[in-house]
Amino acid sequence: MDLPIPNPDPIPVPGEIGLILFLLYLTFFVHVVLMNTLLGGLILTFISEVVSRRSGSPECRHRHEHLAEQLSHILPFTVSLTITFGVAPLLFVQGIYGQFFYTSSVLMAWVWLAVVLLILIGYYSLYLYTRGFARFARRRYWFVGISMVMFLTVAFIYVNNLTLMQTPQKWLAIYTSTKGSGWHWNLDEATLWPRYLHFALSAVAVAGMLVLGLGFREQDAARAGFLRRWGGSWFLGATLLQVGVGWWFYYAIPTQLSAIFLNQEGLARTLFIGAHVLFTLGSLAIGLAAFGRAGSGVGWAGIGLVLGGIAGKIISRDQLRQAYLGQVGWNFDALNTDPQHDVIALFFISLVAGLALLAWVIAKYRREAATHS
């Protein structure tokens, strides 16, 4: 069948494909961890707001209010960093998969463009929540609630676009039925909901690790115990649910494509199995540290293992995308490359400078948080 796939950009990819993929994975990993911290952090802050209002125990109310306030100081940073670390993978995705990514973005143009507005509303709401924590004490949960809904919607739009880009077989029918209006959601995609839930649960798990980490650093013993148990429970609960959602996702993928994860030897299978081993070991370590059976060193090691698992999943996810696009005859041979090592060196210099800036921002934040507390 003749598919309406545009030609690759005539401008060659400015580096070896392996290098560009490496940069895509590296920057997308940072994006995912930050985005998970943001989304999951908003969910956990909202839950703490609800608990602190509903609970009959003053101690419980106080603990949750304190946690909500702690998270409210971290989350605005994660918004700006999620956005900044979204731009870099966006460039690399366009460089390699531009023919697919641009087309799906055009097919759902209005929905896609709405992302900017939703992020703005989400960001302002979050600032109102943080800055007005004391002033809007009675109604502030609205602000964090609105922000949570906005960012969850943004994530949903991303999943719509990134699934649509890898199924060019559907494009012509979509263009015809929408008359090119740009109003389209990829709702008939079988993997859409499990993929979205997979991201949402991963967000809660990562935010659980953040709360656990706050517990490891807390000086007050009672509060530290609460943060460890609360963070550890959300991590473990979300990860357990992930087992069901993960299999739902796996079986929603066409069998000939999901075969790369278990039935065919290769990088995808190694990463898939390796990531799950890391998640299992990491969850065990986190469980032990959260419930006082091991020290914070074991907990931090668990967090490191889980982050390693996420890195593995990021590469597997791209292997799956390549398998999808292989179905329509695409592979990397379609791309011309013209490595511009000076530009790439400049990129690395800016990356290192950016990371140094990030370290400075975190140090500044910690000073501010210490003064505040």
Contact call for residue 315 and ligand HEM (CB under 6 A): no
Q: Which stretch binds ligand HEM (CB under 6 A): 57-65, 156-164, 204-212, 287-295?
A: 156-164
Is the Cβ of residue 171 or residue 324 nearer to ligand HEM in the bound state? 324
| CA 72 to each of CA 143, 251, 277: distance values in angstroms, whole numbers, following the listed order | 11, 38, 33
| CA 195 to each of CA 33, 242, 291, 334: distance values in angstroms, whole numbers, following the listed order | 16, 11, 30, 28
Contact call for residue 154 and ligand HEM (CB under 6 A): yes
Give the separation between CA 294 and CA 274, rounded to whole angstroms. 24
- Taking CB under 6 A as the criterion, the residue among 89, 194, 231, 282 binding ligand HEM is 89
Is the Cβ of residue 128 or residue 162 nearer to ligand HEM in the bound state? 162
Tokens of 320: 């799956």
Contact call for residue 246 and ligand HEM (CB under 6 A): no
Contact call for residue 35 and ligand HEM (CB under 6 A): yes
Q: Which stretch binds ligand HEM (CB under 6 A): 56-64, 86-94, 134-142, 328-336?
A: 86-94
Give the separation between CA 71 and CA 75, rounded to whole angstroms. 6
Considering only residues 39-58, where is the footprint of ligand HEM by CB under 6 A? 39
Contact call for residue 310 and ligand HEM (CB under 6 A): no
Count, residues near ligand HEM per rule CB under 6 A: 23
Give the separation between CA 258 and CA 195, rounded to whole angstroms. 13
Query: Strand, helix or coil at 190?
Result: coil
Q: Is residue 292 left, alpha or beta, with left meaning phi > 0 and alpha meaning psi from -120 to 50?
A: left
Give the contacts of 8 (CB within 8 A, at least 6 positions apart).
98, 99, 334, 335, 336
Residue of 107, 71, 96 whose CA lies nearest to 230: 71
Q: Is residue 2 left, alpha or beta, with left meaning phi > 0 and alpha meaning psi from -120 to 50?
A: beta
- Taking CB under 6 A as the criterion, the residue among 146, 159, 205, 253 binding ligand HEM is 159
Smallest gap from Cβ 86 to ligand HEM, in A, equals: 2
Is the Cβ of residue 155 or residue 260 nearer to ligand HEM in the bound state? 155
Contact call for residue 150 and ligand HEM (CB under 6 A): no
- Taking CB under 6 A as the criterion, the residue among 29, 46, 199, 226 binding ligand HEM is 199
Contact call for residue 279 and ligand HEM (CB under 6 A): no
| Residue ranges in contact with ligand HEM by CB under 6 A | 24, 28, 31, 35, 39, 79, 82-83, 86-87, 89-90, 93, 119, 151, 154-155, 158-159, 162-163, 195, 199
